[in-house]
Amino acid sequence: MGRIRVLPDQVANQIAAGEVVDRPASVVKELLENSLDAGATRIRVEVEAGGRKLIRITDNGHGMNRDDALLAFERHATSKLRTADDLLSIATLGFRGEALPSIASVSRLLLETCEPESSSGSRIEIAGGKILRVEDAALPAGTSITVQDLFFNTPARRKFLRAESTELSHVTALVTHYALVHPEKHFEMLSATHTLLQAPPVARSAERIYQIFGAENLGQLLPVAAEAPLEHGGLPEPPPWKRDPNEPVRELGVLRLSGFYSKPELQKLNRNSIYIFVNKRLIRDRLLMHAISEAYRNIIPPTSFPVVLLFLEMPSEEVDVNVHPAKTEVRFRQQNRIHDFVRDSLRAALISSRPAAGFLAALDAAPLASPTLMPSPVEHLPKPSEDAPIPPGEPGADGVSPDSTFRLTPPSLTPQPGTLAFEPHPGQFGPESTLENWAEAATALFSPAVANPISSCGADTLAEEQAQDIANTATMTAQVEVRREQANLNSLGSLRPLGQLRDSFILAVNDDGLWIIDQHVAHERVLFEKILASRDIEGIQRQRLLMPLLVDLQPWQMAVFADIADELEKNGFEAEPFGPRTLAVKAAPVGLEGRELERMLTEVIEQTGGSETNSARRQDLETLRGRIAASIACHSAIKVNTPLESQKMDWLLKELSKTKFPTSCPHGRPRALRYSWKEIQRAFQRI
Ligand code: ADP
Ligand code: MG
Each residue's pLDDT tens digit, 44-58: 999 999 999 999 999
Judge whether 16 and 97 are in contact, CB under 8 Å: no
DSSP state of 397: T
Name the range with the highest mean pLDDT among 183-187, 271-275, 302-306: 183-187
- In angstroms, the first-to-last Cα distance of the chain is 87
For ligand 1, atom 1, which residue shows the shortest CA distance?
97
Q: Is the CB of 112 under 6 A from ligand 1?
A: no
Q: Is the CB of 632 under 6 A from ligand 1?
A: no
What is the 73 CA–ligand 1 centroid distance (Å)?
A: 9
Judge whether 409 and 379 are in contact, CB under 8 Å: no
Maximum Cα interatomic distance, the chain, rounded to a whole number of Å: 101
pLDDT band at 451 (very low <50, low <70, confident <90, very high): very low
Question: Which residues, at least 6 apart from 181, have a Cβ–Cβ distance to it below 8 Å?
Answer: 277, 280, 282, 311
The span from the CA of 65 to the CA of 62, in Å, is: 10
Q: How far is CA 431 from the centre of its chain?
A: 32
Q: Between 459-475 and 335-353, two packed helices, what is the crossing angle to 10 degrees? A: 110
Q: Secondary structure of 538-594 in the HEC alphabet? A: CCCCEEEEEEEEEEECCHHHHHHHHHHHHHHHHCCCEEEECCCCEEEEEEEECCCCH
Strands (E) across 399-483 are located at 479-481
Question: Which residues, at least 6 apart from 194, have a Cβ–Cβ distance to it below 8 Å?
Answer: none
The span from the CA of 446 to the CA of 469, in Å, is: 26
DSSP state of 670: -
pLDDT value of residue 412: 33
What is the 94 CA–ligand 1 centroid distance (Å)?
A: 7
Pocket test for ligand 1, best of 31, 67, 78 (most atoms within 8 A of CB): 78
Q: Is the CB of 602 under 6 A from ligand 1?
A: no
pLDDT of residue 365 exceeding 60? no
What is the 370 CA–ligand 1 centroid distance (Å)?
A: 38
pLDDT band at 360 (very low <50, low <70, confident <90, very high): very low
The helix (H) or strand (E) run that includes residue 312 is: strand 308-313
Q: What is the position in ligand 1's atom list of the atom closest to the CA of 63?
A: 25
- Residue range 198-217, pLDDT digits in tens: 899 999 888 888 888 777 67
What is the 75 CA–ligand 1 centroid distance (Å)?
A: 11
Judge whether 652 and 495 are in contact, CB under 8 Å: no
The span from the CA of 355 to the CA of 260, in Å, is: 13
Q: Is the CB of 96 under 6 A from ligand 1?
A: yes
CB burial string 420-442: b at 16+ within 10 A, e below: eeeebeeebbeeebeeeebbebb
Q: State the Cα angle at 279 between 275 and 285, rounded to 5°.
A: 45
pLDDT value of residue 375: 35
In 3D space, the residue among 148, 91, 143, 151 whose CA is nearest the CA of residue 122 turns out to be 143
What is the 566 CA–ligand 2 centroid distance (Å)?
A: 64
The span from the CA of 685 to the CA of 257, in Å, is: 40
The span from the CA of 25 to the CA of 30, in Å, is: 9
Q: Is the CB of 143 under 6 A from ligand 1?
A: yes
Q: Secondary structure of 122-133 in the HEC alphabet? A: EEEEEECCEEEE
Q: Is the CB of 100 under 6 A from ligand 1?
A: yes
pLDDT of residue 345 exceeding 90? yes
Residue 151 φ/ψ region, left for φ over 0, alpha for ψ in the -120 to 50 degree band, beta for the rest: left
- The Cβ of residue 321 has, within 10 Å, a number of other Cβ atoms equal to 24
Tell me the average pLDDT across 556-576: 85
The span from the CA of 665 to the CA of 453, in Å, is: 8
Q: State the pairing for strand pair 281-283/274-278.
A: antiparallel
Q: Is the CB of 438 under 6 A from ligand 1?
A: no
Residue type, 614: N
For ligand 1, atom 20, which residue shows the shortest CA distance?
34
pLDDT value of residue 188: 94
The span from the CA of 424 to the CA of 214, in Å, is: 7
Question: Which residues, at least 6 apart from 405, have a Cβ–Cβ distance to it below 8 Å?
Answer: 272, 370, 372, 375, 376, 377
Q: State the pairing for strand pair 42-48/54-59.
A: antiparallel
- Residue range 501-548, pLDDT digits in tens: 999 999 999 888 888 888 988 888 888 888 888 776 666 778 888 888
3-class SS of residue 276:
strand
Q: Is the CB of 259 under 6 A from ligand 1?
A: no
Judge whether 267 and 365 are in contact, CB under 8 Å: yes
Q: Is the CB of 95 under 6 A from ligand 1?
A: yes
The larger pLDDT score, comparing residue 111 to residue 493, is at: 111
For ligand 1, atom 18, which residue shows the shortest CA distance?
34
pLDDT of residue 425 exceeding 60? no
Percent of the chain exceeding pLDDT 90 equals 25
pLDDT band at 672 (very low <50, low <70, confident <90, very high): confident
Please state, in angstroms and as integers, the Cα–Cα distance from residue 310 to each residue in 158, 224, 394, 405, 536, following that order: 34, 9, 21, 22, 38
* Sheet of strand 496-501: strand arrangement: 496-501, 505-510, 513-518, 672-676
pLDDT value of residue 269: 76
Judge whether 51 and 27 are in contact, CB under 8 Å: yes
Task: Count Cα neighbours of 377 within 13 Å in the Cβ-side half-sphere.
Answer: 20
Judge whether 664 and 670 are in contact, CB under 8 Å: yes
Q: Is the CB of 30 under 6 A from ligand 1?
A: yes
Partners of residue 585 on adjacent β-strands: 549, 575
Q: Is the CB of 78 under 6 A from ligand 1?
A: yes
pLDDT value of residue 366: 39
For ligand 1, atom 17, which residue shows the shortest CA distance?
72
Tell me the average pLDDT across 654-681: 70
Q: Is the CB of 57 under 6 A from ligand 1?
A: no
Q: State the pairing for strand pair 574-577/582-589.
A: antiparallel
For ligand 1, atom 12, which residue shows the shortest CA distance?
72
The larger pLDDT score, comparing residue 620 to residue 644, is at: 644
Q: What is the mean pLDDT of the chain?
A: 75
Q: State the pairing for strand pair 331-332/319-320.
A: antiparallel
The span from the CA of 431 to the CA of 353, in Å, is: 35
pLDDT of residue 618 exceeding 60? no
3-class SS of residue 508:
strand
3-class SS of residue 601:
helix
